[in-house]
Amino acid sequence: MLTELSYVFLSNSVSTRSLMRPNAAKAFVRVWKVMEMCYQILLQEKRVTQRELFYKLLCDSPHLFPSQKDVNRTIQDLVALLRCSRYSLGIMASSRGLIAGRLILQEPGKEVVDCSVCGSSGHTISGDFNLLEKLILNSDARYIIIVEKHAIFQRLAEDRFFHQIPSILITAKGYPDMATRFLLHRISRAFPELPILALVDWNPAGLAILCTFKFGSVGMGLESYRYACNVKWLGLRGHDLPMLPDQSLVPLKTKDLQIAQSLMSSKILQESYKEEVALMVQSGRRAEIEALYFHGYDYLGKYIAKKIVQSDYI
C-alpha cells in the first residue's frame, strides 16, 4: 500500500487540470487508484500496456474506470504529477510500428536483425522502451523516411526503395504510438546527421501525423516533447497536385476541417505549413499518396527520389 506521506503529497500536488474538471473528486480518486496499481506492478517487476491496465482497473473499480479513456487521462495526470515517463510507472507502449531498410539492430548478447531483408512486412518495433534503448544500431543510410500508411510502407519495402536511396523506412500505420516515436528518436540520436523526411497524405490529418513526430502530442502531457524529432515535410504537398488526376482529389470531411482549424491556431506550426493548410481549406479537397499510382506502381519511388535529390522538402 502507499504510505500516508504519499497520500499527503498526492493531495497537495494532483494536477491542476484534474482539479479543474467538474468531477474533480472522482479524478483525484482515479489518480490515487492508478498510482496504487502501478506501485503493485513495479513491486512485481512487471510491465503492462495501457489496455491491460484498463481491464485490471475495470474489474477492480468499474465505477471509476468504465472506459479506456478514463485510464488514459488518469495516466496522463499521474505522469504530470510525478514528472516521470509512463515506462517508469511500469506501463509499456503497445506498438503498431514497423521499420525496414538500411539499419542493423542487435539486442546485447542476441542475434543481429538486418532490417533490409525483412521483406515487405518489415521488422516489428518492440513496445519495450528498455530494450529499444539498449539496441546496438548500425546504418549506412543517408535518410530516414517516415511513411504515414502501412500500404505505402509495404510498397516501398517490396520495391527495396531503401537501396535506390540509402534510407531507413519507418511507419506507425497512422498516428504514431509512443514506441515508434521512441525508436525514431533513438535512431536520430545515434545518427544525428540523417535528415528525417515524412511522406503523408495531403490533408489535415496527414500533417497532424507529421506534427506529432515533429512536436509531440498534446494528449501526452509532459511527455509531449520528450521524443520530438526534427522532421521535414517531403510530400504530398500543394505543388504536387498538378501531377495528380482531378478525379483522385476528394472533398474534405468535417473532421478534416476541425483538424485544419486546430493546426491553424497552433503557435508552433511554421508559416509554410500553415500556408499548405490554408490551401487545403481553400480548395476544399484532399489527396492521398496512392493517387501517384496514376503514373504506374513504380512511380512512387521515382517521386520520392526526385524530391530528395532536389532537396524539395520543408
Catalytic residues, by residue number, are 55
Query: Long-range contacts for 79-88 (Cβ within 8 Å, ≥24 apart)?
Result: 79/220, 79/221, 79/222, 79/223, 80/15, 80/17, 80/221, 80/222, 81/10, 81/13, 81/14, 81/15, 81/31, 83/222, 85/129, 85/223, 85/226, 86/50, 86/178, 86/223, 87/47, 87/129, 87/130
d(CA 113, CA 111): 7
Distances (CA, A) of 96 to 55, 74, 134, 181, 264: 20, 23, 20, 11, 29
CB atoms within 10 A of CB 16: 9
Answer whether 276's CB lies under 8 Å from 238's CB.
yes
Starting at the edge strand found earlier in the chain, the sheet holding 112-114 runs 112-114, 104-106, 136-138
* Nine cell digits for residue 169: 523506412
